[in-house]
């Protein structure tokens, strides 16, 4: 050893374990590795159980009926159970499923599941979320996994809602996105109220026109088959599967209240949220009003299954664009079985988790402090002036 020189530190000496290193490693495992395993396992299990895109199967069958010139709708005497495979949507989704008829059912279902997984990741991106950990957590949310596995429309509708927010100051774009959701599945109608409450009256009117126009054209394309019986079809559907829903109406019934009182409570909650959309929107807080509009849609929908809560991705991404508690709360929905005969505890717990998630997003939104870079609409694409 040369005098005055300290022995060199061995390059193989172990690096000290620090709290930041532990957190970084845990983030990679929980938000990076685990979501990949969850998605791969989801696809593998659905193939093994012959449950690929179960809710997409009625769309696929309805598309075939449209191509054959037949009605896609069930007869008045046909059963309307969750497993019956009856098509109960407006005609637009059936027409949109026609391109998938070139593929076998299972292959088409896997393609739809892949598209839904992409939509789940596109939603936070559209809304300005750039923290990679948030994307991993979304892929672990039980409602998102349920939406992907079932092959339902929910994530596509959520993406349309996210795009309506991003292009909120472009009347044609925002009205088109909202209008398509109205024609495909009516339950996001509170977004029209949000447009009007935030003084986007032209966009609100155009959204209604787009929705009505697409409904008319799509029903005309199938010779208006099923139009006269559609209201009765919705009534029968609620009577058949409404008791399996995650709604305050069902919670009230589970608590022993009469149907009249339970339905009154359900309506009071939903209409109260709708009034809040109007009040907050008129006050100028459009972000908070948008979150409340999504909450209103969930509250006033008579049939709610687990995948509906995938809409909370929009809520959390808007309220908290960086990683925070709100991104973890929906993981607690693991207590629910998804759709079909939840226990009273599972129904109440799922709604409590959804309410807490919305409350945390509202708290962050009302705080008004946005992280740098969280504005989901860059200056290059922002309209020069708000539409009337």
Counts of helices then strands in the chain (DSSP H, E)? 18, 0
- Write out pLDDT tens, residues 7-33: 554 455 566 767 677 778 888 888 999
Contact 320, 129 (CB under 8 A): no
Retrieve residue 190's tokens. 């509170």
DSSP 8-state symbol, 88: -
What was the pLDDT predicted at 47?
Answer: 93
Q: Identify whether 384 is part of a domain.
A: no
Q: Find the domain containing 120 and state its range.
A: 30-367
Are 336 and 142 a contacting pair, CB within 8 Å? yes
- Here the tokens at position 175 are 């009205």
pTM over 0.85: yes
Return the number of other C-beta atoms located less than 10 Å from residue 256's C-beta: 8
**Does the residue 255 lie in any domain?**
yes
Residue 269 lies in a domain: yes
3-class SS string, 207-232: HHHHHHHHHHHHHHHCCCCCCCCHHH
- Residue 132 is predicted with a pLDDT of 95
Q: Which two tokens stand for residue 229?
A: 């019986």
Nearest to 292 by CA among 194, 383, 220, 381: 194
165: tokens are 């927010």
Which residue ranges of the chain lie beneath pLDDT 70?
A: 1-15, 17, 19, 81-84, 337-340, 368-388
Residue 4 lies in a domain: no
Neighbour-count burial of 76, counting CB atoms closer than 10 A to its CB (0-12 exposed, 13-18 middle, 19+ buried): exposed
First to last CA, the chain: 81
In a domain, 68, yes or no: yes
pLDDT given at position 22: 76
> How many domains does the chain contain in total?
1
Count the alpha carbons within 13 Å of 365 in the hemisphere toward its beta carbon.
23
pLDDT tens per residue across span 95-130? 999 999 999 999 999 999 999 999 999 999 999 999
Give residue 376's pLDDT.
44
Return the residue matching tokens 């069958």.
Answer: 61
Residue 43 belongs to a domain = yes
Residue 356 domain flag: yes
Q: Alpha-carbon distance 175 to 235, whole Å?
A: 29
List the beta strands (DSSP E) in 206-359: none
Taking the C-alpha atoms of residue 264 and residue 100, their distance in angstroms, rounded to an integer, is 42
Tokens 């998804």 appear where?
338
Q: Is residue 266 part of a domain?
A: yes
């Amino acid at each position: 050893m040369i005098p005055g020189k300290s022995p060199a530190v061995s390059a193989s000496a172990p690096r000290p374990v620090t709290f930041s290193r532990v957190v970084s490693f845990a983030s990679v495992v929980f938000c990076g590795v685990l979501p990949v395993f969850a998605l791969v396992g989801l696809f593998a299990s659905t193939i093994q159980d012959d449950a690929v895109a179960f809710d997409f199967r009625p769309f696929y069958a309805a598309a075939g009926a449209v191509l054959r010139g037949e009605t896609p709708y069930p007869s008045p005497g046909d059963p309307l159970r969750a497993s019956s495979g009856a098509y109960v949507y407006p005609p637009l989704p059936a027409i949109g499923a026609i391109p998938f008829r070139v593929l076998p059912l299972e292959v088409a279902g896997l393609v739809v599941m892949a598209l839904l997984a992409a939509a789940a990741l596109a939603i936070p991106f559209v809304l300005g979320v750039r923290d990679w950990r948030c994307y991993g957590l979304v892929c672990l949310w039980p409602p998102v996994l349920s939406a992907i596995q079932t092959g339902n429309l929910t994530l596509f509708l959520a993406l349309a809602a996210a795009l309506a927010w991003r292009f909120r100051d472009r009347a044609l774009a925002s009205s088109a996105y909202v209008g398509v959701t109205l024609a495909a599945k009516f339950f996001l109608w509170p977004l029209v109220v949000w447009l009007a409450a935030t003084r986007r009256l032209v966009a609100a009117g155009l959204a209604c026109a787009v929705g009505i126009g697409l409904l008319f054209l799509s029903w005309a394309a199938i010779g208006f088959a099923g139009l006269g019986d559609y209201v009765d079809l919705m009534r029968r559907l609620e009577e058949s599967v409404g008791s399996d829903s995650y709604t305050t109406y069902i919670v009230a019934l589970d608590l022993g209240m009469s149907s009249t009182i339970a339905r009154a409570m359900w309506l009071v909650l939903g209409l109260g949220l709708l009034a809040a959309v109007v009040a907050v929107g008129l006050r100028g807080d459009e972000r908070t009003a948008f979150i409340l509009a999504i909450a209103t849609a969930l509250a006033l929908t008579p049939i709610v299954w687990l995948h509906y809560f995938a809409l909370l991705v929009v809520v959390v991404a808007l309220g908290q664009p960086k990683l925070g508690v709100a991104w973890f709360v929906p993981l607690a929905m693991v207590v629910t079985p998804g759709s079909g005969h939840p226990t009273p505890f599972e129904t109440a717990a799922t709604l409590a988790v959804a309410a807490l998630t919305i409350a945390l997003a509202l708290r962050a939104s009302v705080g008004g402090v946005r992280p740098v870079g969280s504005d989901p609409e860059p200056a290059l694409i922002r309209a020069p002036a708000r539409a009337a």
